[in-house]
Amino acid sequence: MLKLQGIESGYGESAVLRGVSMVVDTAKVVCLVGRNGVGKTTLMRTLTGQLKIRQGRMSLGEQEVTGWDSVKRARGGIGYVPQGREIFPQLTVKENLLLGLEPCVPRTKAFPEEVLALFPVLPQMYHRQGGDLSGGQQQQLAFARALASRPKVLLLDEPTEGIQPSIVEEIQDVIRGIKAKGETSVILVEQSIEFVRSVADYVYVMDKGTIVAEGVQDAIDIEQFEHYLTV
């Protein structure tokens, strides 16, 4: 579903990603792990088009999307739940959700019922401002907003960070449910080894802007994980 070949990207004159290559198969959950500051979020921003690809190629399905901007990538099937959620605090829950429909072609104002069924608490809060929700509720809102356009690839940047255990379990179930439907691939940036083991099909380990290890998650030694996650 998604293929990266020798991706280089960064901020200003600073290069962060160096020769990153990845393959994400259809309806699989691929986890990206590594300590803070090694380039994981930079990769997420590069995939969404917020940062330009300086070298390398990116393909979505059979379509090369290297030169596409963030709007075209969203419309092409890339959904994103950023680190920190980034919901609009002054907008209502319903307004935040409707923004998730913007990438849809043709345009629609009907929010998918199957997405709301994944997060039944949200319809009960339609008229509350996003900023009044708890951290866990905001994460569910950001998740639902990203799923609204039925993306082909869903990018999740540390969705369990600072979230209460009950919501973490719900997010875990949602990811498993997405995989079971067989329509959407997931790239998950995550620090929790336990969470990675519970949902991942394949794992990439990043250090200093490069991929240093990869494999089916059961085949990667836990000690190798710990080495690259230790500050």
Per-residue pLDDT reduced to its tens digit, 88-105: 899 999 999 888 888 776
Number of compact structural domains in the chain:
1
Q: Is 124 helix (H, G, I), strand (E, B) or coil?
A: helix
Sign of CA dihedral 61, 67, 72, 74: positive
- What percent of the chain is predicted at pLDDT more than 70? 92
Neighbours of 122 (CB within 10 A): 23
CA atoms within 13 A on the CB side of 169: 3
178 class by beta-carbon count within 10 Å (0-12 exposed, 13-18 middle, 19+ buried): buried
Report angle CA 144, 58, 186 to the nearest 5 degrees.
Answer: 30
Contacts of 149 (CB under 8 A, 6+ apart): 74, 77, 79, 100, 101, 102, 103, 104
CATH of the domain at 98: 3.40.50.300
Identify the domain containing residue 21 by its residue range: 2-229
Residue 29 identity: V
Q: What is the pLDDT of residues 29-83, one digit of tens each?
A: 999 998 888 999 999 999 999 999 999 999 998 889 999 999 999 988 999 998 8
